[in-house]
């Protein structure tokens, strides 16, 4: 592509950046002035409205806390209204009930958010379940439940959020994958299929919606101490020790390990980052 065409393509696909006065000082160092608060702090989420599915516990709550501490107004979305109300109260957010396995419920979540908070800038597709069995033992109902919750629900929420983000001039979508987006395991076939799908869906949405200034990325948690993995530790003998032995950081992760990555991927700090799948795993996925 020649220079003129490249410039006109950029002009077509990206909204004009906020006005920044750039001058050079006596040593030819760039000095910027006249910047607004968000330009000064690229992690600032003030006035941004964020939906976190499964934000009432575990990794989702860790991310919701991070977004709230950066100034976002956070919708904590889950099935369990009591848990969601408690989490929302803790972070000064709003609780909205959703079953991500149900299309109408996903669309209602986004519509309610837009109606009550005025806009939707950020969507974290975090709600997820697992059913642990050998592949030959799954019923089709179990397979469908895992795929509907982990993958189809994320797609429907993203699709519902798209027009709101477009209207707002851009947005951020973060999908939660897993080490099972990369590796296989004998006891987790539908879960691995859903989490592999999350990464490919992330790439496809990132490609499609970049022109709308919507960045779509995935986070791949390692082994994190939550209700989900407490079940796994009860079911899979020796899992706890194997995770410790294989993780270079020599510990399980916790919900607090996800606040920073959420703020990064949902803020202006990551405006040129899209379609990625970032492990947050204490080095688990790079251990030889």
Q: Can you tell me which residue has the tokens 């299309």?
A: 103
Going by C-alpha positions, the residue among 98, 89, 90, 86 that lies closest to residue 52 is 98
Helix (H, G, I), strand (E, B) or coil at 162: helix
Cβ distance to ligand NDP smaller for residue 126 or 213: 126
Using CB under 6 A as the binding rule, the residues of this chain from 9 to 48 that contact ligand NDP are none
Q: How far is C-alpha 84 from the chain's CA centre? A: 18
Report the alpha-carbon distance of residue 251 to residue 246 in Å, rounded.
9
Smallest separation (angstroms) from ligand NDP to the CB of 218: 10
Among residues 110, 120, 156, 224, which is the contact residue for ligand NDP, using CB under 6 A?
A: 224
127 near ligand NDP, judged by CB under 6 A: yes
Helix (H, G, I), strand (E, B) or coil at 94: strand
Cβ distance to ligand NDP smaller for residue 45 or 124: 124
Q: What is the C-alpha radius of gyration for the chain, rounded to an integer number of angstroms?
A: 20
188 near ligand NDP, judged by CB under 6 A: no
Instruction: Give the residues across from 118 on adjacent strands.
Output: none
Among residues 64, 66, 114, 128, which is the contact residue for ligand NDP, using CB under 6 A?
A: 128
Cβ distance to ligand NDP smaller for residue 60 or 282: 60
Cβ distance to ligand NDP smaller for residue 79 or 107: 79
Report the DSSP pairing between strands 94-97 and 73-78.
parallel
The answer to whether the beta carbons of residues 151 and 198 sit under 8 Å apart is: yes
Using CB under 6 A as the binding rule, the residues of this chain from 58 to 97 that contact ligand NDP are 58-60, 78-80, 83
Q: Which residues are known to be catalytic?
A: 191
Residues that bind ligand NDP (CB under 6 A): 53-54, 56-60, 78-80, 83, 98-101, 126-129, 149, 176, 178, 221, 223-224, 226-229
């Amino acid at each position: 592509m020649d220079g003129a065409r490249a410039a006109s393509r950029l002009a077509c696909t990206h909204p004009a950046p906020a006005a920044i006065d750039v001058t050079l000082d006596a040593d030819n160092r760039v000095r910027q002035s006249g910047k607004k608060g968000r330009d000064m702090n690229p992690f600032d989420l003030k006035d941004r409205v964020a939906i976190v599915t499964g934000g009432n516990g575990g990794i989702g709550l860790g991310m919701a806390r991070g977004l709230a501490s950066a100034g976002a107004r956070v919708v904590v979305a889950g099935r369990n209204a009591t848990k969601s109300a408690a989490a929302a109260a803790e972070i000064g957010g709003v609780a909205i009930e959703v079953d991500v396995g149900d299309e109408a419920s996903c669309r209602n979540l986004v519509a309610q958010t837009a109606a009550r908070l005025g806009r939707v800038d950020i969507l974290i597709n975090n709600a997820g379940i697992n059913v642990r069995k050998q592949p030959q033992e799954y019923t089709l109902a179990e397979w469908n439940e895992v795929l509907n919750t982990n993958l189809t629900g994320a797609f429907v929420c993203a699709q519902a959020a798209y027009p709101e983000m477009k209207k707002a001039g851009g947005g951020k979508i973060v999908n939660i994958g897993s080490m099972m987006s990369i590796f296989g395991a004998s006891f987790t076939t539908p879960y691995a299929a859903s989490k592999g799908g999350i990464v490919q869906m992330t790439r496809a949405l990132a490609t499609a919606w970049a022109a709308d200034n919507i960045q779509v990325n995935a986070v791949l948690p390692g082994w994190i101490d939550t209700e989900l993995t407490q079940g796994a530790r009860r079911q899979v003998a020796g899992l706890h020790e194997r995770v410790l032995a294989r993780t270079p950081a020599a510990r399980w992760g916790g919900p607090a390990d996800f606040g920073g990555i959420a703020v990064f991927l949902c803020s202006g700090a990551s405006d040129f980052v899209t379609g990625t799948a970032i492990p947050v795993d204490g080095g688990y996925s790079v251990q030889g």
